[in-house]
């Protein structure tokens, strides 16, 4: 074997060795399921020693194979060997497919959240659901008898339940200023207090009349012989004439006595605080007592009016039978109205006026027309409102155009539609 042949064999062996290494590498990378990237440090460090060992093994094995091949090839003809060596050795390029490796799963890195101060919230109290109490009857024990201290209880209640004070300004006929004859007498000693008094000494056996003519109005009254009768000076200050008559025949009368007066009142309320023929509460104890119990002592005028008004319209019902049969000259008996608890408009007005006057509240009894019907109502005075003229309805705060009769009969809603015309004031 010549020198050139040996060189050719060695070169062929080296080429075979390189091809084997390349093929083994491709196989190795394809068969590895997961392999770190060549760019990673882990791949470089992990495979550097292994590659070195593998390369050494492959080189050793390839050299051994080359020697065996060389020795076998020496037995071939020299001509063929020379032909082989003269032919140029060409090796086809080896292409390697790119190796794709899935990234190894990485353990999630735990980072502790930043510390935040806990916010304290007041717990919301919840009330327990109510449970029905179980009633257990206490054992019965006989109470020890004790004598009630009625005196102490009465003293405690006295200032609370003390009734209102009654004021009865009783008219008198002192005889200081008079006009008289054998048949009659007129006493006007108290005309400054708003009234005069008259009396027939002779019983003529006929109808007797007294006529009081003031600055604006003439009032005519029926009277009985032998009795003092009170007549209010309702027109206030001014000139008055008082005349006494007896019936002659039919509706004709003759004068028995007369007197002329020049009246100057102490105050405008004087005629409407005292009893008179129409508001005769002087000798009516039930009326005065009732008035004192419906209101406490020290009440204001407004409170008195409200209490009396509510009492009358609540407790007195309208007497339709009396309204159909009443005769001319009828005068209210206040105690009888309270006892029977019924009456007509005249009774309502007279009773309320009498109760209020007994409580020192000025009150007028007014007679006139409600529409076309003859009617009676009241008008009162208070420091808060002054005189409330015309008919009234009082709810404790406001005054309205109404009267106790309509309020008691439930006609309060329609009363404001009625036109009131005052004719006489007593």
Pair of tokens at residue 425: 């004031």
Distances (CA, A) of 9 to 3, 19, 56, 215, 417: 10, 15, 20, 172, 148
Phi and psi torsions of 138, nearest 5°: -70, 155
Residue pLDDT tens, the chain, 426 long: 566 777 778 877 788 888 777 777 676 665 554 444 444 444 444 444 434 344 443 433 443 444 444 444 443 334 343 434 444 544 555 555 555 566 666 666 666 767 677 666 666 666 667 666 665 666 656 555 444 444 443 444 444 444 556 667 789 999 999 999 999 999 999 999 999 999 999 999 999 999 999 999 999 999 999 999 999 999 999 999 999 999 999 989 999 999 999 999 999 899 999 999 899 998 899 999 999 888 877 788 888 888 888 898 889 888 888 888 888 888 899 999 999 999 888 898 899 999 999 999 999 998 888 777 778 888 888 777 777 765 455 444 554 544 555 555 554 454 455 677 788 889
Helices (DSSP H) in 319-380: which residue ranges?
320-325, 334-340, 345-358
Q: Provide CATH code, domain 285-425.
A: 3.10.620.30
Pair of tokens at residue 370: 């409600």
* Cβ neighbours, 10 Å, residue 308: 27
pLDDT at residue 40, rounded to an integer? 44
| C-alpha 250: how far from chain center | 69
How far the first Cα of the chain sits from its last, in Å, is 177
pLDDT at residue 12, rounded to an integer? 77
pLDDT at residue 378, rounded to an integer? 86
Summarize pLDDT for 87-96 with one digit per residue, the tens.
Answer: 454 455 555 5
Non-local (6+) Cβ contacts of 67 within 8 A are: none
Sign of the C-alpha dihedral, residues 200, 349, 330, 340? Answer: negative
Pair of tokens at residue 159: 């200032």
DSSP for 272-312, please give it: GTS--SSS--TT-HHHHHHHHHSSBTT--HHHHHHHHHHHH
Show me where the domains of the chain are located. Answer: 3-86, 178-270, 285-425
pLDDT at residue 118, rounded to an integer? 67
CATH architecture entry for 178-270: Sandwich (2.60)
């Amino acid at each position: 074997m010549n020198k050139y042949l040996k060189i050719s064999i060695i070169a062929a062996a080296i080429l075979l060795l390189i091809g084997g290494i390349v093929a083994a590498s491709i196989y190795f990378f394809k068969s590895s399921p997961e392999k770190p990237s060549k760019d990673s440090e882990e791949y470089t460090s992990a495979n550097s020693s292994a590659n070195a060992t593998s390369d050494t093994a492959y080189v050793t094995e390839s050299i051994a194979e080359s020697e065996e091949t060389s020795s076998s090839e020496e037995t071939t003809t020299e001509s063929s060997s020379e032909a082989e060596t003269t032919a140029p050795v060409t090796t086809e390029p080896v292409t390697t497919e790119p190796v794709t490796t899935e990234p190894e799963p990485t353990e999630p890195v735990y980072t502790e959240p930043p510390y935040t101060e806990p916010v304290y919230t007041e717990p919301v109290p919840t009330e327990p659901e109510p449970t029905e109490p179980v009633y257990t009857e206490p054992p019965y024990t006989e109470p020890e008898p004790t004598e009630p201290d009625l005196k102490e209880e009465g003293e405690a209640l006295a200032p609370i339940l003390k009734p209102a004070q009654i004021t009865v300004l009783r008219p008198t006929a002192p005889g200081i200023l008079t006009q008289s004859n054998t048949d009659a007498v007129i006493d006007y000693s108290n005309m400054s207090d708003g009234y005069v008094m008259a009396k027939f000494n002779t019983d003529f056996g006929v109808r007797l009349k007294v006529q009081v003519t003031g600055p604006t109005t003439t009032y005519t009254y029926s009277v009985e012989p032998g009795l003092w009768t009170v007549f209010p000076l309702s027109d206030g200050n001014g000139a008055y004439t008082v005349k006494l008559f007896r019936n002659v025949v039919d509706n004709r009368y003759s004068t028995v006595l007369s007197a002329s007066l020049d009246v100057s009142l102490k105050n405008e309320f004087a005629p409407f605080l005292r009893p008179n023929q129409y508001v005769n509460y002087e000798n009516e104890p039930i009326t005065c007592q009732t008035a004192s119990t419906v209101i406490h002592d020290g009440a204001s005028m407004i409170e008195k009016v409200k209490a009396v008004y509510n009492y009358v319209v609540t407790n007195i019902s309208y007497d339709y039978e009396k309204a159909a049969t009443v005769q001319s000259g009828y005068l209210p008996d206040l105690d009888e109205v309270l006892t029977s608890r019924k009456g007509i408009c005249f009774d309502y007005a007279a009773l309320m006026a009498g109760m209020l006057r007994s409580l020192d509240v000025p009150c007028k009894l007014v007679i006139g027309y409600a529409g076309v019907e003859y009617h009676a109502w009241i008008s009162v005075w208070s420091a808060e409102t002054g005189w409330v003229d015309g008919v009234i309805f009082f709810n404790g705060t406001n005054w309205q155009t109404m009267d106790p009769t309509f309020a008691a009969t439930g006609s309060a809603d329609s009363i404001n539609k009625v036109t009131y015309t005052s004719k006489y004031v007593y």
